[in-house]
Amino acid sequence: MSDTVPMMTEQPVHATVSSGAEMDRKVERRRAPLWRQPAVLAIAGGAVAAVLLWRLLPASGSTDIAAAQIETGTVSRAPFADYLPVRATVAPKVTTLVGVLSGGQVEKLLVQDGVMVSEGQPLATLANPELRLDVLTREAQIASQLGSVAGENLGIERNSIDRAGQVAQANYDLIKARRELAIRQQLYDQGYLSDAGVRSYAEEAAYQQKRLAQLQSGSAREAGITATQGARLNDTRGRLESNLAAVRASLDALTIRAPMGGRLTNFTIQPGQALKPGDPAGQVDSEGSWKLTADVDEYYLRRVAVGQKAAVDGARLTVSKVLPAVKDGRFRTELDFAGAPPAGLNRGQTLDIRITLGSTAPALVVPVGGWLEAGGGTSVFVLDADGAHARRRVVKTGRRNPEQVEILSGLQPGERIVTSNTSSVTGDILNLR
């Protein structure tokens, strides 16, 4: 038995070749669109990147800021109320200091701080032994001088009395001599006496008349001198008595008294405390008679004036005093009530008042805000129409109240501004993100 190996039949070669040629046939490829070409795509991508970069990068001199972090307001034409609200403090209309006239140690307090006192009421007494001893010494000296003046006055009176007595005696002697002469003259006329018997009486009468005339003349001159001397003595006595009263009053100065009626405040001295002349011991406030004091921003220094009206809780006020000295950016003004002040006011109480600076009239206004602090309100950031940017613009402002600022130039109605504080922004453009 023989092994038979099967034979595989070979396929015709030409048939295989013919099939392979058919598969290797060249296929034509379609051309890509212009927009998908690499060069075009690179140019387009570069342009888009440039636009995005331009949009994202801030312009020169600009500042990026979140839109949510700023506040805005609209420029409008509206009524502008020209007033100034301030917080005022109630103060006594008249305050008188209680001073110490003579130094010493506080010996006794007679009243307490805060009570009502009347004019001249004793408040406290002081002890000063040296002053008391000095007063006693000076009193003795003045009393001695007054005694000397009284003695001189007494001497003048005695001289006047003596002179008057002499004139009276001379007048009496003259009357007596004339009477004797008249008797002798009758006897002479009747032939009972000779010429010699009458002559001596006539000479006596003439002497007494001359003596009286001299005494009267001397008395008149002496009266003038005495009057001058008496006037000087009276003046000296008056001065000495005034000095004595002043010396005794220096002891009374050891009693501290109320200079006026009212409520005693700041009376804080204590027993044993040493006080010098001129030291303040307290003050007396006029009770029920009040004024208001207010500290106003220096911006309004040229606008607040004496005579302007104000109001508080239905009561009317008038600006009575403007103190132009500026301290910490503020100046002080005082206001008086036009009528009776409201009841229940107390010293140191605060009240919100409105000072009328002018009449209400239409004006171009914008809201107040922190933008006024940037450059003193001379510039403001104005938003573009798209709201994506705000550009700095120079403006001129006028009057202000707590809600509005008057715009004199630089803005138009309907424009929107940034009202937030932009003092930290150095550029002129804000990019709102």
Q: What is the pLDDT of residue 32?
A: 54
Secondary structure letter of residue 53 according to DSSP: H
Which secondary structure element, helix H or strand E, spans residue 407, and what is its range? strand 404-409
Per the CB < 8 A criterion, the answer to whether 105 and 131 are in contact is no
- Following DSSP, what letter does each residue of 379-403 receive, concatenated? EEEEE-TTSSEEEEEE-EEEEE-SS
DSSP string, 309-372: EEEETTEEEEEEEEEEEEETTEEEEEEEESSSPPTT--TT-EEEEEEE-S--EEEEEEE--GGG
Identify each DSSP E strand in 58-180 by its residue range. 62-65, 72-74, 76-80, 83-92, 95-99, 104-109, 116-117, 122-127
- pLDDT of res. 2: 38
Handedness of CA 392, 398, 400, 403 (dihedral sign): negative
> What are the sequence ranges of the domains in the chain?
62-78+361-432, 84-93+289-356, 103-127+254-284, 129-252
Domain 103-127+254-284 class? mainly beta
- Polymer length of the chain: 433
Dihedral of alpha carbons 280, 284, 289, 290, sign: positive
How many C-beta atoms surround the C-beta of residue 302 within 10 A? 8
CA–CA distance, 104 with 133 (Å, rounded to integer): 14
Please give the structure tokens belonging to residue 313.
């809780």
Distance CA 292, CA 311 (A): 11
Q: Measured between alpha carbons, how far is 341 from 287 in angstroms, rounded to an integer?
A: 12
CATH number for the segment(s) 129-252: 1.20.120
Q: What is the pTM of this model?
A: 0.52
Residue-wise pLDDT for 159-171, tens only, equals: 878 878 888 888 8
- Options 1.10.579.10, 3.30.479.30, 2.40.420.20, 3.90.1330.10; CATH for 62-78+361-432 is 2.40.420.20
Q: For every one of its 433 residues, what pLDDT tens digit does the chain have, with 9 covering 90 and above?
A: 334 333 333 444 444 444 444 445 555 555 555 555 666 566 767 776 665 554 554 545 678 888 888 899 999 999 998 889 999 999 999 999 998 988 889 999 999 998 999 999 999 999 888 887 887 788 778 778 878 878 877 777 788 788 788 888 888 888 988 888 888 888 888 877 777 778 888 888 888 888 888 888 877 777 777 777 777 777 787 877 777 787 777 788 889 999 999 999 999 999 999 999 989 899 999 888 899 999 999 988 999 999 999 998 888 999 999 999 999 999 999 999 988 888 888 888 999 999 998 888 999 999 998 888 876 788 999 999 888 899 999 999 988 888 899 999 999 999 999 998 888 888 888 888 8
Q: How confident is the model at residue 307, as a pLDDT?
A: 93
> Quick check: do 62-78+361-432 and 103-127+254-284 share a fold?
no
CB atoms within 10 A of CB 296: 19
DSSP state letters, 149-160: HHHHHHHHHHHH
Q: CA separation (Å) from 116 to 256, 269, 287?
A: 15, 17, 8
Assigned CATH for 84-93+289-356: 2.40.30.170
Nearest by Cα to 211 from 179, 180, 171: 171
Sign, CA dihedral 368-374-379-383, equals negative
Q: What's the pLDDT score for residue 26?
A: 53
